[in-house]
């Protein structure tokens, strides 16, 4: 121990070091307090980690909202069904004069909400998917949960296949009638467990219940992320589906990321947040940008112009001479 203390003392306060060794010692001694301050500030000012949100989290936390949102997707009445390019052509999107990025990019990620979020995952899973999902529930301890799962699985393979066939063979007007009836009934009950079966729902209740089961088991996340390939690398569709529900909006509210509390320079529950983005976020709080539907592209254009002027001002005739009139130029002769 005494030898260690002697070595440390020699390194930090000894006078027998010369040349580069002495320079290295000074660098280390200077960096130690800086590192300590940086760690302290990082721990004090850090933004809290809220963690990711998945379809499984949503389905387990708010099953009624999940089922209702799935019914809306089948009806194509809300959410990403009208989001505009690159998902569909139902919304013009933001533009700046003749510049219309969404229209120029066309449908890079075409989305059919009812088919992509509900029907296609059930067609892929069918009986095998439903029975595979039961593996995630084998560790349940309560008899009530086990009976619920067993009751769902028993005979559901044929029921889901039949519901899929009934839905895909129906006309669009019939599909709209089914979904409207189910949405009205479920919205009035506000609890899927107390909603009784009704012929007017058609196959909608069976389809949405099956989708809920897959989501609660964690299977739906995988089904939506592997539609374009075998590896779960594209989370576009789960994110779009999740964004249509009320639950994620409530999660955003609890993290102070919704409505007039959200801004480019905000962080989740943090202060001061991403203050270095203030020059960008500032424009959103002044008119006409604060009330413009094209605010994003307009603010981006302003920042782009400022960046270009900063980069190329020596090349712009007459602009470098304006710098001479700035107050700080008077200090040049005194340095």
Compare 92 and 184 and report the one with higher pLDDT.
184
Co-location of 104 and 207 in the same domain: yes
Compare 17 and 184 and report the one with higher pLDDT.
184
Among the candidates 253, 287, 319, a domain finishes at 253
Co-location of 195 and 235 in the same domain: yes
Among the candidates 220, 253, 286, a domain finishes at 253
| Percentage of the chain modeled with pLDDT above 90 | 11
Confidence class for position 135, pLDDT limits 50, 70, 90: very low
Among the candidates 206, 231, 253, a domain finishes at 253
Residue 149 lies in a domain: yes
Question: Tell me, what's the pLDDT at 126?
Answer: 58
> What's the chain's average pLDDT?
76
Compare 161 and 125 and report the one with higher pLDDT.
161
Question: Tell me, what's the pLDDT at 131?
Answer: 44
Confidence class for position 273, pLDDT limits 50, 70, 90: low
Statement: residue 66 has pLDDT above 90: yes
Co-location of 103 and 243 in the same domain: yes
Compare 51 and 208 and report the one with higher pLDDT.
208
Dig out the tokens for 17 from the structure: 């070091």
Confidence class for position 128, pLDDT limits 50, 70, 90: very low
Residue 19 lies in a domain: yes
Statement: residue 331 has pLDDT above 60: no
Residue 79 lies in a domain: yes
Residue 262 lies in a domain: no
Residue 60 lies in a domain: yes
Closest CA to 245 of 57, 45, 115, 34: 57
Range of the domain at 28: 2-45
Co-location of 312 and 164 in the same domain: no
Question: Tell me, what's the pLDDT at 67?
Answer: 92
Compare 114 and 192 and report the one with higher pLDDT.
114
Question: Tell me, what's the pLDDT at 1?
Answer: 65
Q: Look at the chain and report how many structural domains it folds into.
A: 3
Using DSSP, state whether 99 is helix, strand or coil: strand
Average pLDDT for 141-160:
61
SS (H, E, C) 4-51: HHHHHHHHHHCCCCCCHHHHHHHHHHHHHHHHHHHHHHHHHHCCCCCC
Co-location of 169 and 316 in the same domain: no
Co-location of 24 and 96 in the same domain: no
Co-location of 108 and 210 in the same domain: yes
Residue 239 burial (CB count, 10 A): 15
Confidence class for position 28, pLDDT limits 50, 70, 90: confident
Residue 123 lies in a domain: yes
Average pLDDT for 139-155:
57
Enter the pTM of the model. 0.68
Average pLDDT for 309-332:
70
Co-location of 212 and 155 in the same domain: yes
SS (H, E, C) 183-227: HHHHHHHCCHHHCCCCHHHCCHHHHHHHHHHHHHCCHHHHHHHCC
Question: Tell me, what's the pLDDT at 113?
Answer: 87
Dig out the tokens for 290 from the structure: 């604060």
Co-location of 245 and 122 in the same domain: yes
C-alpha separations of 259 from 45, 60, 118, 262, 270 in Å: 24, 26, 29, 6, 16
Co-location of 190 and 111 in the same domain: yes
Average pLDDT for 262-283:
69
Residue 258 lies in a domain: no
DSSP summary character for residue 56:
H
Question: Tell me, what's the pLDDT at 295?
Answer: 87
Statement: residue 142 has pLDDT above 60: no
Question: Tell me, what's the pLDDT at 304?
Answer: 92
Confidence class for position 70, pLDDT limits 50, 70, 90: very high
Give yes or no for a contact between 178 and 201, defined as CB atoms under 8 angstroms apart: yes
Burial of 80 (0-12, 13-18, 19+ CB in 10 A): buried
Co-location of 65 and 209 in the same domain: yes
pLDDT in tens, 177-207: 999 999 988 877 777 777 888 889 999 998 9
Average pLDDT for 122-147:
55
Co-location of 35 and 159 in the same domain: no
Confidence class for position 287, pLDDT limits 50, 70, 90: confident
Residue 50 lies in a domain: no
Compare 101 and 66 and report the one with higher pLDDT.
66
Dig out the tokens for 75 from the structure: 């009806």
Cis, peptide link before residue 288, omega less than 30° from 0 = yes
């Amino acid at each position: 121990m005494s030898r260690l203390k002697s070595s440390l003392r020699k390194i930090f306060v000894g006078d027998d070091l010369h040349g580069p060794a002495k320079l290295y010692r000074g660098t280390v001694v200077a960096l130690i307090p800086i590192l300590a301050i940086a760690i302290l500030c990082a721990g004090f000012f850090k933004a809290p980690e809220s963690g990711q949100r998945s379809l499984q989290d949503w389905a387990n936390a708010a099953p009624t909202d999940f089922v209702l949102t799935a019914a809306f997707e089948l009806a194509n009445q809300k959410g990403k069904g009208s989001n505009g390019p690159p998902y569909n052509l139902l919304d013009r999107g933001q533009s700046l004069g003749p510049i219309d990025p969404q229209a120029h990019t066309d449908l890079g990620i075409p989305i059919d909400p009812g088919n992509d979020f509900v029907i296609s995952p059930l067609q892929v899973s069918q009986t095998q998917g439903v029975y595979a999902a039961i593996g995630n529930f084998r560790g349940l301890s309560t008899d009530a949960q086990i009976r619920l799962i067993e009751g769902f699985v028993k005979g559901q393979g044929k029921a889901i296949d039949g519901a899929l066939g009934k839905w895909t063979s129906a006309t669009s007007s019939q599909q709209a009638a089914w979904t409207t009836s189910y949405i009205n009934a479920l919205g009035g009950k506000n609890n899927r467990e107390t909603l009784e079966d009704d012929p007017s729902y058609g196959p909608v209740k069976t389809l949405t219940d099956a989708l809920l089961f897959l989501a609660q088991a964690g299977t739906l996340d995988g089904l939506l992320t592997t539609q374009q390939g075998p590896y779960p690398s594209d989370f576009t569709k789960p994110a779009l589906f999740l964004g249509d529900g009320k639950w994620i909006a409530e999660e955003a509210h609890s993290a102070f990321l919704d409505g007039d509390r959200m801004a480019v320079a905000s962080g989740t529950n943090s202060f001061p947040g991403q203050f270095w983005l203030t020059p960008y976020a500032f424009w959103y709080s002044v008119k006409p940008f604060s009330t413009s539907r094209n605010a994003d592209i307009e603010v981006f254009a302003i920042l782009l112009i400022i960046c270009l002027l900063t980069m190329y001002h020596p090349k712009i005739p007459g602009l470098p001479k304006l710098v001479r009139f700035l107050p700080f130029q008077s200090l040049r002769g005194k340095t």
